[in-house]
Amino acid sequence: MLPLFFLATIVVACQGSDLDPTHQIHLLRPQSGSHGTPVPDVSCLSWRLGVETRNIIGWSTVPKECEGYVGHYMLGHQYRKDSKVVAQEALVYARSLSIAGDGKDVWIFDVDETSLSNLPYYAEHGFGVEPYDSTSFNQWVLTGKAPALPESLKLYKKLLSLKVKVVFITGRSEDQRNVTTTNLKHVGYHTWEKLILKGSSYTGNTSLVYKSAERKKLERKGYTIIGNIGDQWSDLLGANAGNRTFKLPDPMYYIS
């Protein structure tokens, strides 16, 4: 009787857990490497904290010594747990508001590493240790196979049910509109007020300048940005940032 009981317990536990592959942005695959082991001259956890708090800025690649650490973080449980806290706090805040439901209250969502996850790509490219390669990354984008970041998708659905409109603002270029639209819809983002991509008029401008300008346009049109979620500080700083902002983790790359 005892072995059967244990078997039943395990089956039930697995059914209700994160092990369901349909809910994974990437199968959990804890990495060996720096997890739990000392790294000479650099504490990767301290480095990640510095990145997330914007004490470390302007960096171009993850320190080589931290590839194992960042990979372990991104593919293990902690990244998902950290993202969940962000999305849950955003929802607590949204629920505290009186939403008029007149279609003017909007929430800004960034796309990459916010609505969609490029983790399958970065897992194959050193988790940010390799220098950014736009050709290779754009080839991945054009496959349209980026999964949703599950916590962001849940937040998106809850916000819609609260009668908040969603506006995507992404650094992806205008010529990636079709594949981005298809990718978003395919993974569960079925509707939105606007999908704003970086047009050629912003060539040479930082993401912070571009996103600020587009948010300003929105508020001039009468929208109120009640919330804003993104993985980069350049999504959340600058003009018309939103009444509250929510920073998702991203120790893999930095965009100014």
In whole angstroms, how close is the CB of 253 to Mg ion at the nearest point?
A: 9
- 15, amino acid identity: Q
In sequence order, the 6+-apart residues with CB closer than 8 A to the CB of 32 are 68, 72
Across the beta sheet with 245-247, the strand order is 194-198, 165-173, 105-109, 224-230, 245-247
In whole angstroms, how close is the CB of 64 to Mg ion at the nearest point?
A: 23
Q: Which residues bind Mg ion (CB under 5 A)?
A: 110, 112-114, 231
In whole angstroms, how close is the CB of 256 to Mg ion at the nearest point?
A: 13
DSSP 96: T
Residue 34 or 232: which CB sits closer to Mg ion?
Answer: 232
Cα separation, 132 vs 182, whole angstroms: 24
Q: In DSSP terms, which residues pair with 112 in a beta bridge?
A: 116
Residue 9 or 53: which CB sits closer to Mg ion?
Answer: 53
In whole angstroms, how close is the CB of 150 to Mg ion at the nearest point?
A: 16
Residue 43 or 206: which CB sits closer to Mg ion?
Answer: 206
Kindly state the greatest CA–CA separation across the chain: 70
Residue 105 or 231: which CB sits closer to Mg ion?
Answer: 231
In whole angstroms, how close is the CB of 254 to Mg ion at the nearest point?
A: 11
In whole angstroms, how close is the CB of 8 to Mg ion at the nearest point?
A: 42
Helix residue ranges, H only, the chain: 2-15, 44-52, 67-75, 77-95, 119-123, 134-143, 150-161, 177-187, 207-220, 233-236
Residue 34 or 117: which CB sits closer to Mg ion?
Answer: 117
Size (the chain), residues:
256
In sequence order, the 6+-apart residues with CB closer than 8 A to the CB of 254 are 51, 57, 58, 59, 60, 232
Residue 60 or 161: which CB sits closer to Mg ion?
Answer: 60
